Structure 1
Amino acid sequence: MTDTIDATADRALKAKHRAMWALGDYPSVARDLIPELGRVLVAATGVGPGDRVLDVAAGSGNAAVPAALTGAEVVASDLTPELFPAGRAFAAREGAEVTWEEGDAEALPYPDASFDVVLSCVGVMFAPHHRQAADELVRVCRPGGRIGLVSWTPEGFVGEMFRTMKPYAPPPPPGAQPPPLWGDERHVRDLLGDRVTDVVARRQTVTVGGYPSPEAWRDSWKTVYGPTIATYRNVGDDPERVAALDHDLAALAARYDRGTDGIVLDWEYLLLTARRA
């Protein structure tokens, strides 16, 4: 059952989320660090010609553009339309046709059963109210259609990064759940329930490199990734806490590093696909 959410508080929360994801340069993260994730998700859900596809919390089109290149009709929806110019440029470079529309993952502006495939690539996991977001994924997917999700796991690098930042970040609003829970198969199965069948879930990794040191990764991440920028801003007037956060993030990257010439990090994610019952 969907919990009741105070409308005024929710609007304020969504405004903060939109502003956070507009910080930095998330399109460069999607383009340079994790471009393969969208392609993996599109392949796993069998997107093809004739499919009507919705990419929820699409960002700059990591999954939407590969989906469109299969010949599908694709809508990319996101709470933060500031990301769309980069997405349109990405689609143009690839020769893909994508429709870009502002939308809240917890209140999608589409009729019931209006898409053959509903995707989200490390996107819907950041909607604060998991049950509402899951309800919307199912609602807009037609019976027999496919749902496909890529989400960072709680135990992987990105899940650890959010745990590392938590003591320095503003407290979460009431009712908000941690994003990496979407990387826990049991949690997602519970959210989707008996409204889906044929659930397939597996943990995989994407390899991230290109930084000479853990400190270089940290210094880049604190300029390009919205949640990290917001966390640094929260402690910005306390030099000791800034230094502590600097230390903790670099230590995290050093712990995961398996490279010999520059750092190499494996970021674990859950790839889950299902069919609408």
Structure 2
Amino acid sequence: MSALKARLKATWMAGDYGHFARYLEAGAMDFFPALGIGPGTRVLDVACGAGQLALPAARVGAAVTGVDIASNLIDQARARARAEGLAIRFDEGDAEELPYDDAAFDVVFSLIGAMFAPRPERVAAELIRVCRPGGRIVMGNWTPGGFVGQMFKATAKHVPPPPGMPSPVLWGDEATVRERLGGGATDFRVARRMYPLEYPFPPADVVDFFFTYYGPTNRAFAALDAGGQAALRSDLEQLWSEHNRADGGGTAVAAEYLEVAATRA
């Protein structure tokens, strides 16, 4: 497990997720109202990346903490917060072993983040543990059948995931999420949402963008020889092109995710 964790950390530190996530900000702000936070709310952003939701939460007056396994992203998040004069605590840490006291937060959330940890039962237990009774746990997770789920499946044909690691997109299955969180949470509200993936360049360039900046795709591409790289590129370009709804040379794809909100029992 320690070797797997080191590999996963290296994966998320590869590329530049902070730059990559700039094109995800519109979808993140669509998700933001689900958090239901305001001034003084004690908030924990699990797998916070470079702060795309931690910063908006602090802007509305919440007391925000962000945690992520990738130390370079924590550095980026801290720099962004300093530049805006926002008092946010950012910690390097593991979603399976959160470095916080029991019941420390009013809202614990993760958007497209905690779903990638290798032991989901530990993630669920930690999200519950650090949330106060009556507080809220909120997640946004890619679904198995949505566009990103299809992209992961296409990539796994060329670079299989680590053995024994459950698929991250199982967090996007309603029955699975209810089972994982059901031991410590109640009052589930679940909805399927569409996340806008929009780029001002064509699908082939989007694939290159993922290869360059998105850690998991970057590492998958690097693990292949020239022939494998060409095959993976071809499959991903076809997938993006088939789902593209943009005119004028850009790319616009709607990716389904599961929005989950529950109350800590």
Return the TM-score normalized by structure 1. 0.91
What is the CA deviation profile of residues 209-266 of structure 1, one whole-angstrom value per residue up to 9, with x for unaligned ones? 224322111111100100001111111xx32211111100000101111112122111
Residue of 245, 253, 260 corresponding to 2:232? 245
Mapped to 2, the partners of 1:54 and 1:224 lie a distance apart of: 25
Q: Which amino acid aligns with 1:225?
A: Y
Mapped to 2, the partners of 1:189 and 1:73 lie a distance apart of: 28
Describe the SS at the equivalent of 1:131.
helix
Q: Could you tell me which residue of structure 1 aligns to residue 10 of structure 2? A: 19
Tell me if the contact between 1:170 and 1:234 (Cα under 8 Å) persists in the aligned partners.
Answer: no
Residue of 90, 93, 102 corresponding to 1:103? 93
Aligned pair in 2 of structure 1 residues 206, 93: CA closer, same or farther (>3 Å)?
A: farther
Q: Which amino acid aligns with 1:264?
A: A
Q: Could you tell me which residue of structure 1 aligns to residue 255 of structure 2? A: 267
The answer to whether the aligner puts 1:207 opposite 2:208 as a matched pair is no
Q: Which amino acid aligns with 1:64?
A: A
Mapped to 1, the partners of 2:219 and 2:106 lie a distance apart of: 36
Tell me if the contact between 1:42 and 1:63 (Cα under 8 Å) persists in the aligned partners.
Answer: yes
The answer to whether the aligner puts 1:49 opposite 2:36 as a matched pair is no
Deviation at 1:12, TM superposition (A): 1.3
Residue of 155, 162, 166 corresponding to 1:165? 155
Mapped to 2, the partners of 1:161 and 1:192 lie a distance apart of: 26
Describe the SS at the equivalent of 2:90.
strand
Equivalence map 1:1-277=2 (5 Å): 10-31=1-22, 33-174=23-164, 176-235=165-224, 238-261=225-248, 262-277=250-265
Describe the SS at the equivalent of 2:182.
helix
Deviation at 1:170, TM superposition (A): 4.2
What is the CA deviation profile of residues 64-92 of structure 1, one whole-angstrom value per residue up to 9, with x for unaligned ones? 11111121111101111110222123324
Tell me if the contact between 1:18 and 1:80 (Cα under 8 Å) persists in the aligned partners.
Answer: yes
Tell me if the contact between 1:41 and 1:149 (Cα under 8 Å) persists in the aligned partners.
Answer: no
Mapped to 1, the partners of 2:89 and 2:35 lie a distance apart of: 20
Deviation at 1:150, TM superposition (A): 1.0
> What is the identity percentage for the equivalent residue pairs of Structure 1 and Structure 2?
45
Mapped to 2, the partners of 1:141 and 1:116 lie a distance apart of: 6
Q: Which runs of 5+ in 1 are unaligned?
A: 1-9
Q: Which amino acid aligns with 1:74?
A: V
What is the CA deviation profile of residues 106-162 of structure 1, one whole-angstrom value per residue up to 9, with x for unaligned ones? 111112111111011111011011111111100111100011111111111111110
Return the TM-score normalized by structure 2. 0.95
